[in-house]
Structure 1
Amino acid sequence: MSARTAGRAVAGTRVFLLPDLGEGLSEAEIVEWKVAVGDLVTVDQSVVEVETAKAVVDVPCPYAGRVVALHGAAGEARPVGQPLITIAPADGGDEPAGHATYREEERAGSGNVLIGYGTGHGGTRRRRRPRLTLAPEPAAEAAVSPVPPAPVGTVGPSSAPRIPADAGGDAPASGMSTDGVVPPVGDGTAPAAATAPLVISPIVRRLAREHGVALTGLRGTGPGGVIRRADVEAALAAVPQQHTGDLGRPAAGAAAHGEPAPADASDVVIPLTGIRRVIADKLSRSRREIPEVTIWVDADATALLATRAAINAATPDAPVSVLALLARICLSGLRRFPQLNAHVDTEGQRIVQSAGVHLGIAAQTDRGLLVPVLRDAQRLTTRELATALAETTAAARAGTLPPARLTGGTFTLNNYGVFGVDGSTPIINHPEAALLGVGRIVDKPWVVDGQLAVRKVTQLSLTFDHRVCDGGVAGGFLRHVADCVEQPALLVANV
């Protein structure tokens, strides 16, 4: 696709190529340009936000000067190594106020490093300088008439109009919406300012656009006020007479009350792109390559909950979650049965047991199922595990984890009990060899010392690659986990 340019080519222009953004990533989708043709940029200034199959990433530019071309528009996928933005030397008198040192910084080199890519030019020290701030356009009122798509040749936050969610039509999403800006409409009078919606997930933006939900009127329940998918769905449920979306979907109210779909309703087509495509490919590959087996056992978790309550009563300022205790139990089991902390190298025809436990935690997010990784988790204390788990899962749901934190796991812990289910036979997170699943903890009748009692019971399941071990090892690991759940004091013997 040809780039959007301003004027003729300028001598000394430099083309910045889309860098390698993570292991196995060959392309990235442009979410939102943060600069426009004609803008001045500084070294390390974030110029575009892109979405890979694993994360949303701000891409900094290693060059300073004036933007003369943007290669690609919002919603377009760009291959790694292809042109992203073209920068020309700024005119003599065009340096922005407060940026007189940007030429010197470019010569000194950047300190910003992406995976497989560094913008440095040999210097290890760099001067700090203020960022170039683009003047925002006036925001429109929440209720506006549909706005036509931006004309060809304009792109970026300083020139591209923001299409409101209820505008309809085929205009693509403008990317990570943090400003909620639309150009003036009508007679050109200045509109009133609107609260800027904070939306991270493209799925949430797409859902709101397709159902005509104005994001400017929603209050986000996510971290920092981020609008989540649940917020959009709640808005849909609250409007029973909402009109049919632009893809011919039935009205939200009709779906919520079980009414039949309109006669002209059409199928919903959801492209397998981004994270959804990676999930599909990885799960399909796991099912093709791994001869998996699932075993399970019920365990009395009464003592585990009592242990957690005692820990948190002693140190209420640093609480420990049940998930952290389960992670500690997994680490104890993998120390005793390291065969499960491994993967099969099919090309080399060998089994590789990992020296460290890189613990993956399955987390459901608005972007799909992600498995952020705690590297060398065996080195963390139980309280450190609790802190790391809370921070990591929150960052995964907010979409702020770098791609490197979503790869390289050696064993996965999946707490599907949060969905209110007892058991599951999950698919192994390829290329790992095993996955421990934990169901909900509920009151059940249980025999204790020959007497029937009501206890807190959970179901534990282990799905394992039969190539790395046999049932004896897998059963031994799961029994050890169950024993530690029922008698947490057993963990002390392995510390």
Structure 2
Amino acid sequence: MAQVLEFRLPDLGEGLTEAEIVRWLVQVGDVVAVDQPVVEVETAKAMVEVPCPYGGVVTARFGEEGAELPVGAPLLTVAVGAAAEPAEESSGNVLVGYGTSAAPARRRRVRTSRPVAPTADGVARPAPAVAERPPAAAAPGSAPGATVRTPRGDTPERPEGPVPVISPLVRRLARENGLDLRRLAGSGPDGLILRADVEDAIRVSGVKVRAGTVATATVSAPSALGTEASATIAAAAATSARPAATAGTRIPLKGLRGAVADKLSRSRREIPDATCWVDADATELMRARTAMNAAGGSKISLLALLARICTSALGRFPELNSTVDTEAREIVLLDQVHLGFAAQTDRGLVVPVVRDAHTRDAESLTAEFVRLTEAAHAGTLTPGDLTGGTFTLNNYGVFGVDGSTPIVNHPEAAMLGVGRIVPKPWVHEGELAVRQVVQLSLTFDHRVCDGGTAGGFLRYVADCVEQPAVLLRTL
């Protein structure tokens, strides 16, 4: 006898309380193995696949793509036992963002028109065949966004399976603009819907909306009312069709954007920050990097050299690698340097963390920066990759700007900003010359140190940039 088990959205950790369904990886009737990913969700930290701890037949799914579910909400039900493949024990592995040891089994469709459903006595019995209908066709009195189930014969024929989209970001763009992807013909291989296809459709729909508004505003009144009355009615129609002065495009502060907003607001409320900056001649640092890469082996990135300089400076000025315990009114000096670096992605700004950066050399730092950057752009960073930083390196020079006064990444104590490196006139060895100059800025929590400590840290970083041989003392 089959037993139907309910799998709920697991505790996501790191204080996360909800997730948005990006893509279902299984259908009702599919056979799933223990620890097989069944749904892709997006949290405020990352986009990850959720593994199911049960093996059996999927009998129901809860939530459409794009729906937000709180932790503990039902995700799906699985019939375990006679109706499934040879039953496996639950693994208990339901942590989001971490891989599983078992490889997912091949999914197949179970040929049955009547899925198993639980009953009050706990025994699974066949349930009437149903089909999902979009929320727009919900019956009166049903909950907003709820899935309405109707007999299969009543639903129109629609293409089965997920719509082929190049990335979840494109799917989200369509969803936020009310665009039905099933009505869109993709220009990619095999009808794959690209971002350009969605943006073109959004522009076309915007033109249609504006045209409809103009038509409504210019509707004339019945001829029996006369020209003057018609003009009055037309003006009133135009006024009612025109959006209010405060109207505009509203972007929900949720997901990653909401998490960033909350963290920045908290930083501004709790941290009395200050900023100091200095210009430095980076010519010798650039030459040293060129020499390293010319010697063979893996290439060394400029960001890795700056990170190596930061870890050396934090060893001399540990106050800036700390956090403030506000309840205990204590400054906590941290033993390890977990270096965060700001990365701009299509989903927004994220700060991946390089663990134990103080123990890594330039090659190891380069490799880790590459790995985390690729994961950030792919949206596959785990919550562990995005938390636990103790100091942040912000290379805003990639945007073509010289300086910035960034907000400290709460609960850290400081952030080093690096501007673009550009040729500028500079006095070198008593003569005017064209040198590669960079502006460095340090934003720090004034509770953990005074200006003397912050200035000493920044001056040491600038000295290492100008004379990389200074780092030899710490190797």
TM over 0.5: yes
* TM-fit CA distance, 1:284: 0.2
* TM-fit CA distance, 1:53: 0.5
Of 383, 387, 391, which aligns to 1:411? 391
Of 305, 308, 311, which aligns to 1:331? 311
Give the aligned residue type for 1:199.
S
User: Is residue 2:24 matched to residue 1:33?
Assistant: yes
1:253 alignment counterpart: none
1:423 alignment partner, SS class: coil
1:457 alignment partner, SS class: strand
* TM-fit CA distance, 1:242: 4.8
User: Is residue 2:280 matched to residue 1:299?
Assistant: yes
The answer to whether the Cα contact below 8 Å between 2:66 and 2:175 also exists between their aligned partners in 1 is: no
Give the aligned residue type for 1:333.
A
1:76-91 correspondence to structure 2 within 5 Å: 76-89=67-80, 91=82
2:223 alignment counterpart: none
The answer to whether the Cα contact below 8 Å between 1:22 and 1:116 also exists between their aligned partners in 2 is: no
1:476 alignment partner, SS class: helix
The answer to whether the Cα contact below 8 Å between 2:187 and 2:193 also exists between their aligned partners in 1 is: no
Of 245, 252, 256, which aligns to 1:271? 252
Structure with greater Cα Rg? 2
The answer to whether the Cα contact below 8 Å between 2:402 and 2:438 also exists between their aligned partners in 1 is: yes
- Post-superposition CA distance 1:138-161 (Å, at most 9, x none): xxxxxxxxxxxxxx9646xxx999
The answer to whether the Cα contact below 8 Å between 1:417 and 1:441 also exists between their aligned partners in 2 is: yes
User: Is residue 2:187 matched to residue 1:217?
Assistant: yes
Of 60, 79, 84, which aligns to 1:69? 60
Whole-angstrom CA distance in 2 between matches of 1:86 and 1:493? 61
Whole-angstrom CA distance in 2 between matches of 1:449 and 1:399? 48
Give the aligned residue type for 2:443.
T
- Post-superposition CA distance 1:376-418 (Å, at most 9, x none): 1111111110111011111111101111110110000000000
2:461 alignment counterpart: 481
* TM-fit CA distance, 1:117: 9.7
Whole-angstrom CA distance in 2 between matches of 1:427 and 1:46? 37
Whole-angstrom CA distance in 2 between matches of 1:211 and 1:460? 47
The answer to whether the Cα contact below 8 Å between 2:312 and 2:474 also exists between their aligned partners in 1 is: yes
* TM-fit CA distance, 1:127: 6.9
Whole-angstrom CA distance in 2 between matches of 1:425 and 1:494? 29
In the superposition, relative to structure 1, how do residues 379 and 153 fare at CA in structure 2: closer, same or farther (>3 Å)? farther
1:72-471 correspondence to structure 2 within 5 Å: 72-89=63-80, 91-92=82-83, 95=84, 100=85, 102-103=86-87, 106-107=88-89, 109-110=90-91, 112=93, 114=95, 130-133=105-108, 154=131, 196-201=164-169, 203-206=172-175, 216-217=186-187, 242=204, 244=206, 267-315=248-296, 317-471=297-451
* TM-fit CA distance, 1:226: 11
Give the count of matched residue pairs: 404
In the superposition, relative to structure 1, how do residues 210 and 337 fare at CA in structure 2: closer, same or farther (>3 Å)? farther
1:164 alignment counterpart: none
- Paired-residue identity, %: 55
Give the aligned residue type for 1:362.
A
* TM-fit CA distance, 1:130: 3.0
- Post-superposition CA distance 1:411-443 (Å, at most 9, x none): 000000000100000001110000000000111
Give the aligned residue type for 1:484.
C
Give the aligned residue type for 2:376.
A
- Post-superposition CA distance 1:333-376 (Å, at most 9, x none): 10111110111111222111111000001000011100000111
In the alignment, structure 2 segments of 5+ residues that lack a partner are: 111-128, 136-144, 146-155, 212-240
- Post-superposition CA distance 1:6-39 (Å, at most 9, x none): xxxx973211121122311011111222223333
In the superposition, relative to structure 1, how do residues 451 and 407 fare at CA in structure 2: closer, same or farther (>3 Å)? same
- Post-superposition CA distance 1:278-328 (Å, at most 9, x none): 01000000000000001100011111110110000002x410111111111
1:176 alignment counterpart: none
1:81 alignment partner, SS class: coil
In the alignment, structure 1 segments of 5+ residues that lack a partner are: 1-9, 120-125, 136-151, 162-171, 173-186, 220-224, 250-262
RMSD: 3.8
Task: Report which of the two has the higher share of helix.
Answer: 2
Give the aligned residue type for 1:312.
N
* TM-fit CA distance, 1:113: 5.5
Give the aligned residue type for 1:486.
E
The answer to whether the Cα contact below 8 Å between 2:32 and 2:105 also exists between their aligned partners in 1 is: no
The answer to whether the Cα contact below 8 Å between 1:298 and 1:459 also exists between their aligned partners in 2 is: yes
Give the aligned residue type for 1:72.
G
* TM-fit CA distance, 1:88: 2.0
Whole-angstrom CA distance in 2 between matches of 1:364 and 1:32? 24
Whole-angstrom CA distance in 2 between matches of 1:491 and 1:376? 18
Whole-angstrom CA distance in 1 between matches of 2:9 and 2:419? 43
In the superposition, relative to structure 1, how do residues 403 and 133 fare at CA in structure 2: closer, same or farther (>3 Å)? farther
Give the aligned residue type for 2:106.
R
TM-score (norm 2): 0.75
* TM-fit CA distance, 1:450: 1.5
The answer to whether the Cα contact below 8 Å between 1:17 and 1:83 also exists between their aligned partners in 2 is: yes
Whole-angstrom CA distance in 2 between matches of 1:450 and 1:435? 33
The answer to whether the Cα contact below 8 Å between 1:300 and 1:455 also exists between their aligned partners in 2 is: yes
Of 9, 12, 21, which aligns to 1:21? 12
The answer to whether the Cα contact below 8 Å between 1:415 and 1:438 also exists between their aligned partners in 2 is: yes
1:217 alignment partner, SS class: coil
In the superposition, relative to structure 1, how do residues 54 and 227 fare at CA in structure 2: closer, same or farther (>3 Å)? farther
Whole-angstrom CA distance in 2 between matches of 1:469 and 1:215? 59
The answer to whether the Cα contact below 8 Å between 1:324 and 1:386 also exists between their aligned partners in 2 is: yes
1:54 alignment counterpart: 45
